[in-house]
Amino acid sequence: MKRKDIEPADFPKELQVIAEKVKRNERLNYDDALVCFESNDVLSLGKLARIVKEDLHGKICFYNINRHINPTNVCVYTYDCKFCGFAALPGEPHAWEYSHEDIYRKAELQGGDKVREFHIVGGCHPSLRLSWYEELLRGLKKRFPEVHIKAFTAIEIGWFAKLEKISVKEVLLRLRAAGLDSLPGGGAEIFDREIRKEICNGKLNADEWLEVHRTAHKLGIKSNCTMLYGHIEKAEHRVDHLLRLRALQDETGGFQAFIPLAYHPDNNFMGIKFKTPGLEDLKVIAVSRLVLDNIPNIKAYWIMLTPEVAQLALHFGANDIDGTVVEETIYHMVGASSREWMTREELETLIRIAGCEPVERDTLYNPVA
Ligand code: V47
């Protein structure tokens, strides 16, 4: 279906204004976004989001052949980030710090498909210096020159700046010179000051997170963005979060993909013991597609959603399902029930069964021949 064929009268009353705007390709405002999040007509939202997605991407669904690596889980924010089950303090039994050689060996284990991207994130380690990370990136580039390195959340970049007493710009320039190609989207959580204080007091605030990405974009470094939902936030906090991302994207155009991340309940200090049900996840995907009119790609991260819900998300506005991953710890330490990797064949099958056309992409969203 095309935008012009939308019949607003066919939608429930509360969504008719939204349908009209989608039909006219008009930007949704704060109130519209709130109406979307407060509606329980997920199928109608999905229908609209799918039309928007197909307008942008047709039937294409992107995937990539990537490998996650977490050099260390030792983190100064271990007890600040209440939702995290990954981090540890130095010396705790579950803490790890891989050596460069350990990491090079892991990078070799690519699960059978030729990896095009390393996704590298970790804890904010109290004593690993920026030079250690620069050496790591140089070592990886030397051994895997054709692999794109997407590494370090804004939180890690901010931490390196604090530890080294240098600016965020200087950190980014040094890391880029050593081999950094782009930034992942983690650490955004929820921008609202009060909610952020409750769930991750102490680490970068919203303006600081956005400033790291603004600085990266100005240097020509592309990045992703995320939102952690399904904990104590309300609809208005989700809307505020999406609109702040949209405003930065208007300014810089540097975000490639938005990845909504559903809160997982195990092994953390939140005290919330359930994960959002699948329909809620599909609603967040759909509303993100409708509100973020300037971010080209909405990623249904299959590790976080499960392959089953990620597949459904392709009918609710998502056009990317992430990649092979190979080894995953962040979500598996907080209760993810999915496997840690999928092969190219499995990803392609999952996409085809959803009626979409699988296209392998590189990290910068160029289709791979
Ligand atoms: O920043 C941590 C989240 C993020 C929990 O850029 C949790 O391509 C739910 O950002 N429940 C890291 N979420 C993952 C991430 C990501 C993943 C895939 C692709 C990309 C990309 C980025 O995981 C953290 C945090 O928001 N997280 N703990 C939890 N209990």
In a domain, 369, yes or no: no
- pLDDT by 10s per residue, the chain, length 369: 999 999 999 999 999 999 999 999 999 999 999 999 999 999 999 999 999 999 999 999 999 999 999 999 999 999 999 999 999 999 999 999 999 999 999 999 887 888 999 999 999 999 999 999 999 999 999 999 999 999 999 999 999 999 999 999 999 999 999 999 999 999 999 999 999 999 999 999 999 999 999 999 999 999 999 999 999 999 999 999 999 999 999 999 999 999 999 999 999 999 999 999 999 999 999 999 999 999 999 999 999 999 999 999 999 999 999 999 998 998 899 889 888 899 999 999 999 999 999 999 999 999 998
Residues 100 and 8 in one domain: no
CA proximity to 324, closest of 299, 343, 346: 343
Q: For the chain, where are the alpha helices, taking DSSP H only?
A: 16-23, 30-38, 42-57, 100-108, 130-143, 154-164, 168-178, 193-200, 206-218, 235-252, 278-291, 302-305, 307-313, 344-353
Q: In angstroms, what is the span from residue 190 Cα to ligand 1's centroid?
A: 12
Residues 111 and 167 in one domain: yes
Residues 15 and 113 in one domain: no
What pLDDT score was predicted for residue 112? Answer: 80
What pLDDT score was predicted for residue 308? Answer: 96
What pLDDT score was predicted for residue 369? Answer: 81
What pLDDT score was predicted for residue 186? Answer: 98
In a domain, 160, yes or no: yes
**Residue from 67, 183, 226, 297 to probe ligand 1 pocket by mutation (most atoms less than 8 Å from CB):** 226
- Is ligand 1 within 6 A of the CB of residue 228? yes
- Is ligand 1 within 6 A of the CB of residue 302? no
pTM, two decimals, is 0.98
- Is ligand 1 within 6 A of the CB of residue 276? no
What pLDDT score was predicted for residue 339? Answer: 86
CA proximity to 348, closest of 62, 56, 28: 62
Q: In angstroms, what is the span from residue 113 Cα to ligand 1's centroid?
A: 24
Q: How far apart are CA 266 and CA 362, in angstroms?
A: 33
Residues 23 and 102 in one domain: no
- Is ligand 1 within 6 A of the CB of residue 256? no
Which atom in ligand 1 lies closest to the alpha carbon of residue 185?
Answer: 6
In a domain, 162, yes or no: yes
* SS3 call for 183: strand
Q: How far apart are CA 178 and CA 6, in angstroms?
A: 50
Q: Whose CA is nearest to atom 28 of ligand 1?
A: 84
What pLDDT score was predicted for residue 337? Answer: 85
- Is ligand 1 within 6 A of the CB of residue 334? yes
The domain tally of the chain equals 2
- Is ligand 1 within 6 A of the CB of residue 264? yes
Q: Whose CA is nearest to atom 8 of ligand 1?
A: 184
What pLDDT score was predicted for residue 37? Answer: 98
Which atom in ligand 1 lies closest to the alpha carbon of residue 266?
Answer: 30
Give yes or no for a contact between 306 and 284, defined as CB atoms under 8 angstroms apart.
no
* SS3 call for 27: coil
Which atom in ligand 1 lies closest to the alpha carbon of residue 270?
Answer: 30
Which atom in ligand 1 lies closest to the alpha carbon of residue 187?
Answer: 1
For residue 281, what is the domain's CATH number? 3.20.20.70
Q: In angstroms, what is the span from residue 245 Cα to ligand 1's centroid?
A: 16
- Residue 59 structure tokens: 């039937």
Residues 142 and 228 in one domain: yes
Residues 14 and 92 in one domain: no
Range of the domain at 14: 3-52
**Residue from 261, 276, 319, 332 to probe ligand 1 pocket by mutation (most atoms less than 8 Å from CB):** 261
What pLDDT score was predicted for residue 313? Answer: 98
Residues 214 and 349 in one domain: yes
